[in-house]
Structure 1
């Protein structure tokens, strides 16, 4: 009378346990498993070969984390030279603006190549190449000054009590690279204000 039929039990599907919102998304390990994992992490290698393998794996995982951080801008795994909010602000400031220094190397290579190839045929071209070199050097110097002065001014406003030692050279070094080759990857678009 009160029994279930086999067809009723087959159709009822047990509901999957719902995780708490904000939970870690996996069950808590048992005490035995947690202690075994902890002891395994402190276990000393038996020989040099095993020790070097462990060291290689550790270096490989750290390098992979660092390469991923270079792509995503994750501050936890960046190299020491790129860590910190001031360095991130400097990167964003550089990446948001157009710069003469960014295009200086390709332009100077083209100008010098034209000078070398055609200077024997056109004698006046050597003077033009020299003038272009001088103009590029002056433009680079002006861009360098404007970049460092603007960056230091904004950092003094945004981070008043922080040290800005080496930040100008860091920004100039980043500016000299083509935008697509910069690491960590640019996180802002051109013309966008750095946050």
Structure 2
């Protein structure tokens, strides 16, 4: 006989391929194995989460001030968004003067009685300014879309780009974020 004997397949302690080789765990044991605390300490977890979010916002804000596109929020990244920002920053639009002028109009309307001719004239001038800004913004969007499609193609238009452009055009140039990279009159190619 040879020294090498084949053990019986059903012998205890011998693993057989295709079999489980262990007893079925009880339901109670399975549930206990899956159970774990959702949050170990909710107060510290919330504090840590808030701290992470604060650091991330601070990093993004710093990137917006410096123009570091890699760390900007997602809605400001990419060559398409950069082109849109540069186009808006290159032009002088009446929209950027709307907010300061509206404050002047509010102060002037408080000083002038509303039912006088001067008060009515002030209100008419303000409405004409708002109308001029609306027309200028509409024309800017049309021109910008033509040039954008010529450069990048119609499929590259970023999501919600019109709102992005309008919000930037109505903001005072000094307070725009990300900070303008081009001087007035330097339109993107």
Secondary structure, in 3 states, of the residue corresponding to 1:76? helix
TM-score by length of 2: 0.69
Q: 2:172 aligns with which of 149, 169, 178?
A: 178
Give matches, 1:116-127, under 5 Å: 116-119=110-113, 123-127=116-120
| Larger of the two Rg values belongs to structure | 2
Alpha-carbon RMSD: 2.4
Secondary structure, in 3 states, of the residue corresponding to 1:194? coil
Quote the Cα distance in structure 2 between the aligned partners of 1:63 and 1:194.
29
In the alignment, structure 1 residue 133 sits paired with structure 2 residue 126? yes
Quote the Cα distance in structure 2 between the aligned partners of 1:132 and 1:98.
20
Quote the Cα distance in structure 1 between the aligned partners of 2:68 and 2:118.
49
Q: 1:158 aligns with which of 148, 151, 162?
A: 151
Structure 2: state its 5+ residue gaps.
Answer: 1-39
With over 3 angstroms needed to count, the CA separation of the structure-2 counterparts of 1:56 and 1:110, relative to structure 1, is: closer
TM-score by length of 1: 0.67
1:64 alignment partner in structure 2: 58
Quote the Cα distance in structure 1 between the aligned partners of 2:159 and 2:44.
43
Any idea what the Cα deviations from partners look like across 1:100-139, whole Å, max 9, x if unmatched? Answer: 111012112212321221226x921022112202211220
Secondary structure, in 3 states, of the residue corresponding to 2:83? helix
Paired residues in the alignment total 150
